[in-house]
Amino acid sequence: MTRVARTTADATLPLSGPAPDRGGRRLPRTLHPMAWWIWALALATAVSRTNNPLLLFLVLAVLGYVVSARRTEAPWARGFKYYLYLALTVVAIRVVFRAVFATGITPHDHFLFSLPHVPTPDWYAGIQIGGPVSLEALLSAATDGLRLACMLCCIGAANTLANPKRALRVLPGALYELGVAVTVALSVAPQLVHSVQRVVRARKLRAGSTKGRRALRGIVVPVLEDALERSLRLAAAMDSRGYGRAGTATRRSRRATGVLMLLGMCGLCAGAYGLLDATAPAFVGLPAMGCGAVLCVAGLRLGGRRVTRTSYRPDPWRLPEWAVAASGMVAAVLLFANLGYNPAELNPSFYPLTWPTLPLVPTAAILLAGTAGFLAPPPTPPTPHRLPTKAEPA
């Protein structure tokens, strides 16, 4: 009777939500996947505003903290380190290209080394291959690569924290066919990570001693085959459950939806260009982005009428989702507003070579984005598999 009473009491607890338990702590649940994507994309937008290495390293620290604090035990939740490896590769490639395609050196630069100069024809005179390389040029290339690496890590954090399959359930009806393809594409990277772990574990069990380049063929082929097979299996399962069906729509409504979406996307692109370029006309910035957003919403509403579907146990959008999304959005707005700090501090120059400063407001904005690590509810722990005892049935 005691075991049955305890099980019945536990069954009355809510399945999701930040409701506190008897000890005053929040119950573990899975955060809405779109909240993580909004937070990560907003932080990537903030990163695109600066190439200050101190702020970029701070963004990497915030991403590492949030991922380590709120990731689940799913296979795709273990792949953030692979995004870090890819980020290091991006920085290295950027530095190598800057060293090979040198732009010359001034008398005030710090000379490091010189590469063999390759003469180029007259029609290729704007590009110089080889020559002297300065410390300032390599540092500038490293910061540019670090900014791209941080944006890549933001997308990797979203892939690590959000379930790509659950994100499909909240897409608008007009994007449902596209969402199927996007979900299958997004699941390839997590499946690659999971396949790498499975193949490496299998090689250890078989006492495989081959390492380095010799082991590459024995790992890459099974990994690619397994990841592709899993993605195709996911697509087949989604197709058998009715995902991506076109529904009943006339040719006129489809054309209207396409025109509205195309004009809306053009407006969003023009608005983004106007916000990033200070010399652009005023009407190209926020007005164009607002008109584009309105057209996109109208296209989504019009196209969503032809697809009707139900969702089993939909993900709730509650206060933690608002808090996580707002923390990233506020960080992006503060870095674009240029209020309370000198905009030149976001993009320091290495000519001459000086140590960059750490502006207070952008630092506080990035740390505010890091509050998502404890604003989000704790993830659901994995269910332990326990063998039945002799006193209870199997």
pLDDT reported for residue 384: 54
> pLDDT-derived band of residue 8, with 50, 70 and 90 as boundaries?
very low
pLDDT greater than 60 at residue 120: yes
Highest mean pLDDT among 81-90, 123-132, 202-211, 244-253: 81-90
pLDDT reported for residue 62: 94
> What percentage of the chain reaches a pLDDT higher than 90?
16
> pLDDT-derived band of residue 214, with 50, 70 and 90 as boundaries?
low
* Separate counts of helices (H) and strands (E) for the chain: 14, 2
- Residue linked to tokens 């799913």: 74
HSE on the CB side for 204, CA within 13 Å? 6
CB contact at 8 A, 150 and 61? no
pLDDT greater than 90 at residue 195: no
pLDDT reported for residue 205: 66
More confident: 16 or 393:
393
Other C-beta atoms lying within 10 Å of the C-beta of residue 265? 14
- Tens digit of each residue's pLDDT (9 = 90 or more) over 137-154: 888 889 999 999 999 999
Q: Name the least confident of 7-21, 69-83, 215-229.
A: 7-21
How far is Cα 315 from Cα 10, in angstroms, rounded to an integer?
A: 21
Tokens of 169: 């359930």
Query: Domain residues of the chain, as ranges?
Result: 29-305+318-375
pLDDT greater than 90 at residue 393: no
- Residue linked to tokens 């969003």: 268
pLDDT greater than 80 at residue 97: yes
How far is Cα 11 from Cα 6, in angstroms, rounded to an integer?
A: 9
pLDDT greater than 60 at residue 339: yes
> pLDDT-derived band of residue 61, with 50, 70 and 90 as boundaries?
very high
pLDDT reported for residue 154: 93
Max CA distance (Å), the chain: 91
Residue 7, class by beta-carbon neighbours within 10 Å (0-12 exposed, 13-18 middle, 19+ buried)? exposed
What stretch of H or E contains 112? strand 111-118
Packing angle between helix 33-47 and helix 360-369, nearest 10 degrees?
A: 160
pLDDT greater than 50 at residue 353: yes
pLDDT reported for residue 19: 43
